[in-house]
Amino acid sequence: MNTSFSVFDTLIDRSKMSSDKWSKYPESIIPMWVADMDFDSPACIKEALTQRIDEGVFGYTHTPKALVKAIQSHLVRRYDWAIGAGNVVHLPGLVCALHLSVRAFSNEGDRIVVPGPVYYHLTKAPLLAERKVEHVDMVIQGGRWTPDMAQFETACAKSNSKMILLCNPHNPGGSVYTKAELLAIHTLAEKYDLLVVSDEIHCDLILDDLPHVPFASLSKDAANRTITLMAPSKTFNIAGLGYAFAVIENEALRQTFNQSRMGLVPSPNMLGLTAALAAYEDGQEWHQELLTYLAKNRDFLVDRLAGTPLKMLHLEATYLAWIDASALPIESPNQFFLDAGVGVSDGKDFGNPNYVRLNFGCPKSTLDDAIIRIEKALKNIN
Ligand SMILES: Cc1ncc(COP(=O)(O)O)c(C=O)c1O
C-alpha cells in the first residue's frame, strides 16, 4: 500500500474548466506550459469563496483592512520586511502593473534594462510602449543563472536608461537572487539613478532553504526607488481570480502610479480579495506541503533528465524548468516536445529558442508520464 499519498497526487480533470492550460492542445498532449498548477487550491480558500458566494450580493467592493494586515504579517514572517499599510496598492494582476510602470515612469525612446531570457511581459512592456530594451544576458555561474554584471553596468550606464525590470526569483531559470547579487544591482541603480520594478511573484515558491530578499528591503535608497510586485496567485494556484499587489514606499512614486492607473486599471475582483485574505491568513500549512511536493518533482525531473542530451540546472525556485535542447539534432525544441506529446512553453518567447520551459506543477504521475514520452522521443532521434 502506498502510505505516502499526498493531496497533490490527486489527478484533477481540468478539461471542462475553460482552463487556458488544458484547452490549448488536443487531449493527447500533456499541457505543461502556462504557469498554473494542476492542484486543488487549499481548503481555506475554497471555504472563504463559498462563504462569500453564499452572501449572494456582488456589488462594488473595497479591499478589506484585514487583507492589508495579512499581507504585512506575511512579509514580516517570511522576509522580515516591515512595510506601512498605506504603501500597498491592490491590483487585478501583476502584468498590468509592469506595463503601467513602464508607461508611468519612462518616456518613448528611453531604455529599460532587462536581464533575460525572462518572462516575456518584462520585455513586452517596454517594447509595446516604444521603449528600448537594454538586454542583459543571464549566464550560468556556479550552476545557476545570474546576470552578467559587466553587461548590466554597460546597460545601466547608457544615456536614457531609466529603469531596471527585475524578475526575482527569476522565471525561467529559477534563480533566487542572493543578497550580494541584489546589492550589486542596487549599486548600479543608485549610481545611474534608475527606478527598479521588481517582479517578485514567485517569491513564495522557493524550493531550497534559501532566503528571498525583497529588493526594496535592501536599504532606504532601494525602498525609495523600487516598485515591488507580488501576488498570491502562483503560490496558491488562484491566477484566475485576478489579485496582485504592489508595494511602493516612495510616496511620490505611489502617487504617480495611482494617477496613471486611474480609469484604466480597475480594482481587484471581490473574489480575488477574498481568496488572497484566506491564503495569507490560513494557507501556511498547505503552502509548506506544496513546497515539499514541488521540490520532489524538481529532483525527480533533474534525475531523469541527467544522462539525456537535455540539460537542466537545479532550480532554486518556481515550478518552471528551463531545459536546454541545443544538443539535439532538431530544428525546433518546442515542436520536438509537442511531437513527443508534451506541450511546453517555447523558449523563443522568453528569449532563447534552443530552450523550452516545462511546468512541473502537477501530480508526480503526470510528470512521470511526460518524462516517459520525452525519453521515448529522444530514443527515436538517436
Ligand atoms: C514573472 C511573472 N510575472 C507575472 C506573471 C503573471 O502575473 P498576473 O497573472 O498576475 O498578471 C507571471 C505568470 O506566469 C510570471 O511568471
> How confident is the model over 101-118, as pLDDT tens digits?
999 999 999 999 999 999
Is 49 within a domain?
A: no
* C-beta 233 within 6 A of ligand 1: yes
Q: How many CA atoms lie within 13 A of 259 on its CB side?
A: 8
171 & 213 share domain: yes
Would strands 161-167 and 195-199 be described as parallel, antiparallel, or unpaired? parallel
Mutate to test the pocket of ligand 1, among 168, 171, 320 (most ligand atoms within 8 A of CB): 171
* C-beta 37 within 6 A of ligand 1: no
238 & 150 share domain: yes
38 & 85 share domain: no
Asked if 190 and 223 count as a contact pair (C-beta separation under 8 A), the reply is: no
Is 105 within a domain?
A: yes
2 C-alpha to center of ligand 1: Å? 36
The average confidence (pLDDT) of the chain is: 97
Residue 89's nearest CA partner among 76, 107, 71 is 71
208 & 139 share domain: yes
Q: What is the structure's pLDDT at 382? A: 59
95 & 236 share domain: yes
* C-beta 199 within 6 A of ligand 1: yes
Asked if 297 and 364 count as a contact pair (C-beta separation under 8 A), the reply is: yes
Element holding 167 (H helix, E strand): strand 161-167
298 & 177 share domain: no
Mean pLDDT of the region 71-90: 98
Mutate to test the pocket of ligand 1, among 121, 345, 359 (most ligand atoms within 8 A of CB): 121
Residue 1 has pLDDT above 70, yes or no: no
Mean pLDDT of the region 168-173: 97
Is 117 within a domain?
A: yes
Is 1 within a domain?
A: no
Residue 2 has pLDDT above 70, yes or no: no
Distance CA 190, CA 188 (A): 5
* C-beta 167 within 6 A of ligand 1: yes
Residue 132 has pLDDT above 70, yes or no: yes
Contacts of 324 by beta carbon, 8 Å cutoff, 6+ apart = 310, 311, 312, 354, 355
* C-beta 201 within 6 A of ligand 1: yes
Atom of ligand 1 nearest to the CA of 243: 10
Q: Tell me how many domains the chain contains.
A: 2
pLDDT in tens, 224-236: 999 999 999 999 9
Q: What is the structure's pLDDT at 315? A: 96
* C-beta 231 within 6 A of ligand 1: yes
* C-beta 119 within 6 A of ligand 1: yes
Distance CA 157, CA 159 (A): 6
At which of 240, 259, 282 does a domain end?
Answer: 282
pLDDT in tens, 6-65: 999 999 999 999 999 999 999 999 999 999 999 999 999 999 999 999 999 999 999 999
209 & 272 share domain: yes
* C-beta 95 within 6 A of ligand 1: yes
127 & 109 share domain: yes
Is 354 within a domain?
A: yes
215 & 312 share domain: no
303 & 374 share domain: yes
Is 52 within a domain?
A: no
Q: What is the structure's pLDDT at 4? A: 80
pLDDT band, very low/low/confident/very high, at 167 (cuts 50, 70, 90): very high
Q: What is the structure's pLDDT at 239? A: 97
201 C-alpha to center of ligand 1: Å? 7
CATH of the domain at 189: 3.40.640.10
CATH of the domain at 361: 3.90.1150.10
Residue 138 has pLDDT above 60, yes or no: yes
In percent, how much of the chain has pLDDT > 90?
98
Mutate to test the pocket of ligand 1, among 119, 165, 230 (most ligand atoms within 8 A of CB): 119
Mean pLDDT of the region 303-325: 97
User: What residues make up the domain containing 310?
Assistant: 7-42+284-381
